[in-house]
Amino acid sequence: MNAETKHGAPAGVRQIASNRKARRDFHVLEKLEAGMELRGTEVKSIRAGKVSLDEAFARIEDGQVFLYGMHVQPYEHGNVHNHDPVRPRRMLLHSREIHRLLGQTTAKGNTLVPLRLYLRRGVVKVELGLCRGKQRADKREDLKRRTADREAERAIAARIRR
């Protein structure tokens, strides 16, 4: 059995960034882990937590998956060879995974969205989600459900305190 931290994440995994907007705006149908092709100063900057996934999305082009819109701040102790902060980054996936994702994104109107960025045994990984956009009514239902859950928890806590 794998050891886990107190937050439920596997040991040896350190989360660096998450895309909270993605869970609000999309239904996550499937998750998969992917590596990322990075340059040296990008890795140092990511390890320092200087990264944002807020506007990021993935696209399949010429049989490869690229991540667009992920902002990695230039490494502060770098030199003239620092990277472009928002350059497209190639994702490292098996070709059969890419072909399966290509079929699911083109035929069904789904999209690939990065959900979180983390280090696993010192290697930068991205959790990609195969997502379908939520409608406004879906967002309202989620908000109502969260509010009802919160009120139920408060009622239980108040009952226990008595």
How is the chain split into domains, by residue range?
13-134
- Let me know: does 66 contact 89? Beta carbons within 8 Å: yes
pLDDT, tens digit (0-9, with 9 covering 90-100), for 37-80: 988 788 888 888 888 888 888 999 998 999 998 888 888 777 76
Does the domain at 13-134 match CATH 2.102.10.10? Answer given as: no
Question: Model confidence over 96-120: pLDDT tens digits?
Answer: 999 998 888 887 778 899 999 999 8
Q: Report long-range pairs for 134-139 (Cβ below 8 Å, ≥24 apart).
A: 134/24, 134/25, 134/26, 134/27, 138/27, 139/24, 139/25
